[in-house]
Structure 1
Amino acid sequence: MKATEVPAIDGAYLFEPTPYADERGFFSRTFDAEVVRSVGLDPDAFVQDSVSRSARGVLRGLHLRSGAGEAKLVRCSYGRIFDVVVDLRPDSPTYLGRAFFELSDATQRSVYIPAGCAHGFQALTEPADTSYRIDRPHDPAEDVTIAYDDPDLAIPWPLPVTSASQRDREAPSLAAVLKRLDLEQTER
């Protein structure tokens, strides 16, 4: 497994395994604590694993957590997704940077998303299963959502959006979320 820094997002990494394929199918290591440790991350920091299944065209995001934030390790375990990360950390050298990835079951690549970054994806296949490892238990009171079609982000979603949650469809603009996060930071 190889870890590569993501230039557009400070502290983000792409983890690329080397699947072994033969006539039976394939075998792939999807997590390696030593490789995670080698880039300065604590593999024991992850406390919760989750999975979502999405139909082709479904869009999930853009999501992040307020407060201490939430770091994630995201992988498409079945199918393919178009994955998006946006850096919303005001002190980051890549503030407002965006990175796009295609994650799939064929490559089993994972993206590490630092706390303070927004994340979203669109399912490119029918279905697409997305696995998440997160470093804090989920607290719905800290959920923050940004409009996935915000013109300031201009994310090139590859397919028409066939479905999104009500929360995602009604999400505020990037500017409104940045203002909210700045106010929360000031109050701390």
Structure 2
Amino acid sequence: MKAIAVPEIDGAYLFEPTPHADERGFFCRTFDADVVRSAGLDPHAFLQDSLSRSARGVVRGMHLRSGAGEAKLVRCSYGEVFDVVVDLRESSPTYLNRAFFELSGDTQRTLYIPAGCAHGFQALTETADTSYRIDRPHDPAEDVTIAHDDPDLAIPWPLPVASMSERDRRAPRLAEVLKQKEG
């Protein structure tokens, strides 16, 4: 497994496993504390694991947490997703940059998203299971959502949106979220 810095988002990493394939399928390590540590991250900081299952075309996002934020490791364990990260850390050299990834069960790549970045994805396959490992317990009172179709973000979602939560459907534009953050 190796850690690859994501140039568009300061502090983000893509962890690429080394699969061992044979006639049975494959085996690979999806988390390695030493590799995480070599990227300058604390592997013991992750406190909670979650899993979502999405149907083709479902969009989840764009989500982030207020307060101290939330760092997370995201991996598509089955199927394939188009994954999006937007840097909303005002002090970051990559502030307002976007990065796009295809995560899949075939590659088992894991994306590290620093606290203060918005995250979302769209399922590209009939079933896509996405796992999250976050660095602090979830508090719904700190949830922030940004419109997935905000023209300021110009996210090139690959499929028409098949479904999304009511919260995501009613999400404000980025400018409104940033204005609320200031005040």
Shift of 1:75: 0.1
Amino acid at match of 1:24: R
Runs of 4+ in 1 over 4 A off after TM superposition: none
Amino acid at match of 1:169: R
* Structure 2 CA distance for aligned equivalents of residues 24 and 45 of structure 1: 34
Partner of 2:45: 45
* Structure 2 CA distance for aligned equivalents of residues 67 and 59 of structure 1: 24
* Structure 1 CA distance for aligned equivalents of residues 102 and 39 of structure 2: 22
The answer for unaligned runs of 5 or more in structure 1 is 184-188
Spell out, residue by residue over 1:116-152, the C-alpha distance to the aligned partner (whole angstroms, 9 max, x if none): 0000000000100000000010000000000000000
Q: Secondary structure of the equivalent of 2:179?
A: helix
Partner of 1:91: 91
State the percentage of identical aligned residues. Answer: 82
The answer for unaligned runs of 5 or more in structure 2 is none
Partner of 1:179: 179
* Structure 1 CA distance for aligned equivalents of residues 74 and 113 of structure 2: 8
Partner of 1:30: 30
Structure 2 length as normaliser, TM-score? 0.99
Shift of 1:54: 0.1
CA RMSD after TM alignment: 0.4
Shift of 1:180: 1.2
Aligned residues: 183
Amino acid at match of 2:12: A
Spell out, residue by residue over 1:157-188, the C-alpha distance to the aligned partner (whole angstroms, 9 max, x if none): 000000000000000000001111222xxxxx
Q: Secondary structure of the equivalent of 2:76?
A: strand
Partner of 1:186: none
Partner of 2:160: 160
